Structure 1
Amino acid sequence: MLALQDYASDSSGSEEESKETIEELTAHLKPVQSGKSLVSTQKLNAAPLVITKEDVGVQRHLDITTKEVKYNPKFEEMFAPQVGPSNPFKTQQMLAKKNMISGYAENAHFNQFQFENQRRTFTSYGYAVDPSVDVQVSSEPPIVGDRVAADDSKGLTVFEAMPKRPEDKRKRLRNSDAGDVEGYLGPWGKFVDEKTVMKPSEDEQKELDEILAKRSKTNKQTEEKTAEEKTTLHIKDAYDYQGRSYLHIPQDVGVNLKSEEPPEKCFLPKKHIHTWTGHTKGLSAIRWFPVSAHLLLSCSMDCKIKIWEVYNERRCIRTYTGHKQAVRDITFNNEGTEFLSCGYDRYCKLWDTETGECKSRFSSRKVPYCVKFHPEPDKQHLFVAGTSDKKIVCWDIRSGEIVQEYDRHLGAVNTITFVDQNRRFVSSSDDKSLRVWEWDIPVDFKYIADPSMHSMPAVTLSPNGKWLACQSMDNKVSIFNVLNRFKYMRKKTFTGHMVAGYACNVDFSPDMSYIISGDADGKLYVWDWKTTKLYSKFKAHDDVCISVLWHPHETSKVATAGWDGIIKYWD
């Protein structure tokens, strides 16, 4: 008020005009005098009326004909769809769950069972009661759909069973007398009107036989004749002045070849001392003569088997020819007087080592991948062969018949190795597993498989019979402990070579200090047995080095065979 009293306009007006304006302004106020100052009071509303969203109408929509908008509409209002009548069933349809096969149906004046009954009757039989007509008014229920079918079935629904007439039931042949052994039928008798396959008449049978005979002639595979077995002696005299053949163990080579004890200390082979040539194609396997190892037997992809001298002149002594296709594996018996060979011509053949005579032939019409004599002296007439049809077949040489089949593998069988004093044998296969078998029991008692395992196409038992060295396809040599339940020795793994795709053989040094292996590049690898450290590697062959053998009586002599058709001797 004091400010208003002091207020004066710049215009040259009289004081009277300014006083009038002050009086007009203060006319509406009720001055209260408290002491010397004037204080104006105004009545406050503690709970004023507030307009809610519903009053304003937030869900308003703009009419498309509107030319002018007198407020700021939101984006949702500007671009909302044109307003129409609300859907009366919208909330119900949104909230309702399926109460019938095709969706949601509202409650009607007749119950759900009757509705479902008529619906199924219509889908099954093609007719149903007309729902638009009141059944109570009309004498007969009106039918919608196939009237002929409705008349035939008298308007029955799917829930009303059709009456079965006794003549509709099929009659069976009966003979429930269990004492009648030949004629007893029980509940399995045929129906009376059941048609059985008729045998052709004599004329029809003749005609059928002629047709089959013509077909068999066109598709007939001629029975393959076995290749004629031959042998060639490459030395002048098969016997010396004392009548001893080349199988006789030499005494004058500076090494006791008859000893059963291995050399005390073995050394690494360093230089190439001899090459045996004669095979025209790659070799498959080489084997020492049993015990003495003064002879070396080799088989090749040129379908030939040769035996070589290891000492003295190191000549090729004899060649055995008798397989039509590549020879896959060879094995001596305990004495060395006979050996077995198996080839891709699906035959296993038994040869006399000294004379070269083929004594027997065995074939199961499958390719044998490996052969092994039973090592026990009293079971030398038995041998096992792992075949391409996932079986291990045991043959008896005396009768020439199969006496046992071990059929549990899921792939072709690659190796067979006798362990545990020849009471058991281990087989490896393309199914990436090892199976351990008791002799003459055709169920494997141990199955060794792991998702990380690869197939192991070459397996060798250590000289002391405790360890199994397996050439794994993932470029490593894996070791299994034979005595400790075939435990996989994870820490004892030999790596560094490349053998994926090849069955490169593995061997131990006689004193168990080294382990050797071939390689796909033709190299020979030598590892330390205890530390698994790679000691030496050198180029041995121009092609795959498929087989390696450490001489059982020599400290550092190793024989290697390659796909270049050469056998090399290292010292």
Structure 2
Amino acid sequence: MLSGYALDPSVDTTSQNSSNSYIGAVDEAEKKKGLTVFEVGPKKHDKRKKVQGGESDDIDNYLGPWAKYVDEKDGAKPSEEEQKELDEITAKRQKKGRNEEEAPAEEKTILHVKDAYDYQGRSYLHVPQDVGINLRTADIPDKCYLPKKQIHVWTGHTKGVSAIRLFPVSGHLLLSCSMDCKIKVRNTPATLTPDLPACTHFAYQLRNSLSMYSPSTGQCISRFTNRKVPYCVKFNPDEDKQNLFVAGMSDKKIVQWDARTGEVVQEYDRHLGAVNTITFVDENRRFVSTSDDKSLRVWEWDIPVDFKYIAEPSMHSMPAVTLSPNGKWLACQSMDNQILIFGAQNRFRLNKKKIFKGHMVAGYACQVDFSPDMSYVVSGDADGKLNIWDWKTTKLYHRIKAHDKVCISALWHPHETSKVITCGWDGLIKLWD
């Protein structure tokens, strides 16, 4: 009787008409011709048609499997009824003091040096040439050595430090971001001067948006948003594509923006979970992404279909990925307390002979790094320790108690033989040598 009617067992259906053969909702039975819940009636499915996009040999006009549907709408503008309903909800929230569209908090930039430019008109971004090390060269040190002791501590953050990055190529400046919503720029080992403070920029985080800042002035140049939470951002390293960047979003997409126009120019939509990392490989012709869906995908630049998909039943999510200095390997921090090594060229296979163990990182996106000469692999862990492995043997060589809480990132300076920088959730950044 799930459908509201049933055959009358006391009536001989061969001699009675159909209306007397049912009990219950007789009208409904006649309407459905007596079909039960286990029987499927005839259904019509109109297949959605896609926009025709030329032949496969026409590269410029061929849309292929990613063509849009004919009835697909690009815009997301609500109808008049929907807009009226949204206005009513917004008005109610404003009365209760719970307006979601809050005004952005005030942004500030504080310069901690006397002048932004020296007597020759050079800003603090200028790469120094009198520190005993050539910071402009791409050459790597001949031999790197294990750091043994702490030689400096940077303070200033009031909450845990979530990430640190070195200035590209030269590494003469260190950028740190913290859970206190501040971004700081500091001097690094090669330019470390105790009486010279860093230039500090900080701003309150805006929900569901990306902000781009000028490193020389600290001012916000522009903002970008698709109303989703961004988890990672990478600019295209090629000189002729410096205006393009990609961001991994909470809605499983990788979105490509043009910084000059502020418009979305491409979307890579194949992941089944939030995108955690984006890493450019193969001379920037491709990039690799990892996600909460426990997969690794490889993309050709500007083509929204992944050409390589790696996912095994035994794989865990990999929320931190680093490209090796020689560009041949990807070190992936796996949530099963291992560092996995994938090839960064051609087949992108897992190197089963290079698996680094011995640390506990489950639940934390601890950043991995290599020594410039590829002798060592370094990583923090959940216990606040700095772990150093030998690249060739995968043996855990050295372990240092670096922080009181999680050691979330470890960086080896690109021009120094034994200097490593760590940061942790205790709010400190430390230099080891």
Task: Quickly name the TM-score band, shorter chain normalised.
Answer: 0.7 to 0.9
Partner of 1:223: 101
Partner of 1:251: 129
Partner of 2:286: 424
Number of residue-to-residue matches in the alignment: 363
After TM superposition, the structure 1 stretch with the greater mean CA deviation from structure 2, 355-364 or 501-510, is 355-364
Contact 1:229/1:320 (8 A) holds in 2 = no
Partner of 1:185: none
For the residues of structure 2 that align with 1:561 and 1:208, how far apart are their CA atoms?
48
CA offsets 1:196-240 (integer angstroms, 9 cap, x no match): xxxxxxxxxx99998886455225644232233210001112222
| 2:91 aligned partner, one-letter code | K
Q: Offset of 1:439 from its aligned partner? A: 0.5
CA offsets 1:270-317 (integer angstroms, 9 cap, x no match): 110100000001111111111110110111110000000112315442
SS of 1:217's partner is helix
CA offsets 1:337-370 (integer angstroms, 9 cap, x no match): xxxxxxxx22211111111111111111111111
Partner of 1:232: 110
What is the 5 A alignment of 1:323-472? Answer: 323-324=204-205, 345-472=207-334
Q: Which has the higher contact order (CA 8 A, sep 6+)?
A: 2
Contact 1:548/1:561 (8 A) holds in 2 = yes
Contact 1:306/1:316 (8 A) holds in 2 = no
| 2:359 aligned partner, one-letter code | H
For the residues of structure 1 that align with 2:286 and 2:82, how far apart are their CA atoms?
53
Partner of 2:413: 551
Q: Offset of 1:320 from its aligned partner? A: 1.6
For the residues of structure 1 that align with 2:87 and 2:220, how far apart are their CA atoms?
37
Instruction: State which of 131, 151, 154 in structure 2 corresponds to 1:273.
Output: 151
Partner of 1:37: none
Structure 2's unaligned 5+ residue stretches are: 1-10, 27-33, 35-79
| 1:520 aligned partner, one-letter code | A
For the residues of structure 2 that align with 1:425 and 1:270, how far apart are their CA atoms?
35
For the residues of structure 2 that align with 1:214 and 1:378, how far apart are their CA atoms?
48
Partner of 1:495: 357
What is the 5 A alignment of 1:19-168? Answer: 118-121=12-15, 124-126=18-20
Partner of 2:388: 526
For the residues of structure 2 that align with 1:212 and 1:358, how far apart are their CA atoms?
31
Q: Offset of 1:254 from its aligned partner? A: 1.3
Partner of 1:319: 200
| 2:311 aligned partner, one-letter code | A
The change in CA–CA distance for 1:550 and 1:208 in structure 2 (over 3 A counts) is closer
Q: Offset of 1:379 from its aligned partner? A: 0.3
Structure 1's unaligned 5+ residue stretches are: 1-116, 128-144, 150-157, 159-205, 326-344
CA offsets 1:34-71 (integer angstroms, 9 cap, x no match): xxxxxxxxxxxxxxxxxxxxxxxxxxxxxxxxxxxxxx
TM-score when scaled to structure 1? 0.60
For the residues of structure 2 that align with 1:211 and 1:275, how far apart are their CA atoms?
55
For the residues of structure 2 that align with 1:271 and 1:208, how far apart are their CA atoms?
63
For the residues of structure 2 that align with 1:554 and 1:370, how far apart are their CA atoms?
28
Partner of 1:261: 139
Partner of 2:46: none
Partner of 2:164: 286
Q: Offset of 1:515 from its aligned partner? A: 0.4
Cα-Cα RMSD: 2.6
For the residues of structure 2 that align with 1:377 and 1:298, how far apart are their CA atoms?
25
Partner of 1:132: none
TM-score when scaled to structure 2? 0.79
> In proportion to residue count, which structure has more helix?
1
Q: Offset of 1:256 from its aligned partner? A: 1.1
Partner of 1:329: none
User: Could you tell me the percent identity over the aligned residues?
Assistant: 68
Partner of 1:507: 369
Partner of 2:41: none
